[in-house]
Amino acid sequence: MSKTTVQDMPLRERKKELIRRAIVEHAERLFEMRGYDQITVAEIADAANVSVKTLFTYFRSKEDLLFQDSDLIDAILDALRKRPKKTTPAQAIAGLLGQLAREGRGPAEELAKYQRGYGASEALRSRLLRLWADYEESIAQELAREAGLAASTVDSRLEAALLVTLVRAFTWREMSNLAQQAQAGSTAAITAWLQRSARRIERS
């Protein structure tokens, strides 16, 4: 839910949304400072000035604090649906990811922050795999819809798996290294990699 809509909510719903956001913001800050595995739910609740019981009324688990919205997959599907006729799915997704990198505080900082907070966590790996599988399913269905098919096929699923790899790359240690090597945290190296990778997927 975007911040611009919070003021339009009824007071009760507005308070609940602000509490939810506070919990997420404090959780992310703590994870990035000390690492996901080193932070307890009790510490997150204390930082957000709520009880552990209250936290669990908003989130079922610590993992859910990281996987609590669908903004990215929604943006990916939107980019696919709205792309110009001659733009391939790979080009559309590479363009979106490049735009998101440019809108951040700098790819080197963001990727280093991710690796510091979450990259070493074994606990998150299985959840990330489920997330990528869900992305793959959604993209495969969208590609099948564009082709006029009632359901995804092995071809649309294969293409979806390749496209999801572009997204997954931003959790790789190697991508963080690439960003660190770029001058002044420039997005140029990442954008160039995305474009090259999109062409490889198209050739596939």
Q: Sketch the domain layout of the chain as residue ranges.
A: 3-65, 71-203
Given this model, what pLDDT does residue 151 score? 92
- On whether the CB atoms of residues 80 and 139 are closer than 8 A, the answer is yes
Tokens of 148: 């006029």
Please choose, from the candidates 93, 58, 101, the residue with its C-alpha nearest in 3D space to the C-alpha of residue 73: 93
Given this model, what pLDDT does residue 182 score? 66
Place domain 3-65 in its CATH homologous superfamily.
Answer: Homeodomain-like (1.10.10.60)
> Tokens 């552990």 identify what position?
52
Residue 95, CA atoms < 13 Å, CB-side half-sphere:
13
Residue type for position 149: L
Contacts of 62 (CB under 8 A, 6+ apart): 27, 36, 39, 41, 44
> Tokens 């280093």 identify what position?
112
Tokens of 59: 């989130």
Alpha carbon dihedral 98, 103, 107, 109, in 10-degree steps, equals -170
Given this model, what pLDDT does residue 14 score? 87
Q: Taking the CA atoms of the chain, what radius of gyration do you get in angstroms? A: 19
Tokens of 18: 């602000």
Given this model, what pLDDT does residue 184 score? 55
> Tokens 């997150």 identify what position?
44
Helices (H), the chain: 11-34, 41-47, 52-58, 71-82, 89-103, 107-114, 122-146, 154-168, 173-181, 188-203
CA-based diameter of the chain, in Å? 53
Q: What is the pLDDT along the chain (204 residues), one digit of tens a residue?
A: 344 466 677 888 889 999 999 999 999 899 988 889 999 999 999 999 999 999 999 999 998 888 877 889 999 999 999 999 999 999 999 999 988 888 765 666 666 677 777 877 887 888 888 899 999 999 999 999 999 999 999 999 999 999 999 999 988 888 888 877 766 556 888 889 999 999 999 987
